[in-house]
Amino acid sequence: MTESPARCAGQRTGICPVTLAEADHLRAHDACHSAAGLRNQTMGWVRSRWQVRLSPGKYDIQSLLTALPGAERPLHALTTEIVAHDLQEATATSSTNRRGWP
């Protein structure tokens, strides 16, 4: 197993290749699509809040996602929280980067 650390914002990320059984690969693939769909759906809500001059924080986003019925939230609650926090961090980074543009 090889590990190739990369520096990103003072954190280290390990990249480790793995081989999954077909069933595990399909579950991971489906979970990836579920997380992306949930994130895209939530981004629409965040944009709608921005249009009325509100800036939702990570716990606002988390509350929105964890309040969704199970059929609309296909991921475990802890994974949903991670999606919410990641989305808030991404939007905050994007906002900070835009301020630096002329």
pLDDT at 3: 41
pLDDT at 12: 63
As given in the structure block, the two tokens for residue 80 are 């949903």
**pLDDT, tens digit, 9 for 90 and up, residues 17-72:** 889 999 999 998 998 888 888 888 888 899 999 899 988 888 998 898 888 887 77
Residue 10 pLDDT greater than 70, yes or no = no
* Nearest in space to 64 (alpha carbons), one of 47, 48, 42: 42
DSSP per residue over 26-70, as a string?
A: HHHHHHHHHHHHHHHHHHHHHHHHHHTT----HHHHHHHHHTS-T
The residue type found at 101 is W
d(CA 65, CA 78): 11
- Sequence-distant (6+) residues with CB within 8 A of 4 are 14, 15
pLDDT at 22: 94
